Amino acid sequence: MATTHTSTSKSSSSRKSASSKSRSTARKTTSSARQKDAVQLLKADHRAVEKLFSQFEKASGEQRKMQLARKICMELKVHSQLEEELVYPTSREFLKDDEIVNEALIEHQAAKDLIEQIQGMDASDEMFEAKVTVLQEQIEHHVQEEEKEYFPQLQKSDMDLKAIGQQIAMRKKELMAQMQGDGLEMH
Ligand SMILES: [Fe+2]
Ligand SMILES: [Fe+2]
């Protein structure tokens, strides 16, 4: 890797003019600086789902609740699939702690079971709200564990979180499109 770094150019002829207000070169926002890494993207998903759950809590009317529950289920399915495809397996290679990934997978499975039940229900079902509330509690617990224990371990590891972030962003678009398509076919 030969880095030609020999341009020790002495300050260009234009010395800084005291009155110059422009600092044109001060901020460079390269696309790589804007690109979010895996942890940032996953946390953003967590916040989005929390927001949907709190909208569900405040919502009134079966139709609105149904709509929000569907959205919550879809977001959670996409998010867990992204973690299961792109994050959890890779992290096994970098972290010594397999148990943390095993527990996360069990929690995902429990959430999936509940999600399936909710998706097969009508908002008029007397168990509907209770199921969504229990899903919320389970997800809150899972998110806590990921953000307090798991993600910090990833950040300390040698995992290339930027590269995984790029994969997550691409795969998420595919999965969202796919699930929205499925949803349309069902009705
Ligand atoms: Fe997860
Ligand atoms: Fe997560």
Q: Tens-of-pLDDT digits for all 187 residues of the chain?
A: 444 444 434 444 444 444 444 444 445 455 556 789 999 999 999 999 999 999 999 999 999 999 999 999 999 999 999 999 999 999 999 998 899 999 999 999 999 999 999 999 999 999 999 999 999 999 999 999 999 999 999 999 999 999 999 999 999 999 999 887 776 554 4
Residues 40 and 47: their CA atoms lie apart, in Å, by 11
Q: Residue 104: inside a domain, yes or no?
A: yes
Per the structure, the complete domain to which residue 140 belongs is given by 35-186
Residues 170 and 69: their CA atoms lie apart, in Å, by 25
Ligand 1 center to 108 CA (angstroms):
6
Ligand 1 center to 144 CA (angstroms):
10
Ligand that comes closest to the CA of residue 42: 2
Beta carbons of 136 and 59 less than 8 angstroms apart: no
Number of domains comprising the chain: 1
Residues 185 and 187: their CA atoms lie apart, in Å, by 6
Q: Residue 125: inside a domain, yes or no?
A: yes
pTM above 0.95, yes or no: no
Q: Residue 21: inside a domain, yes or no?
A: no
Ligand 2 center to 80 CA (angstroms):
6
Which residues place a Cβ less than 5 A from the ion ligand 1?
83
Ligand 1 center to 94 CA (angstroms):
17
Hey, what are 26's tokens?
């001060």
Give the amino acid at 100: I
Q: Residue 173: inside a domain, yes or no?
A: yes
Q: Residue 13: inside a domain, yes or no?
A: no
Q: Residue 30: inside a domain, yes or no?
A: no
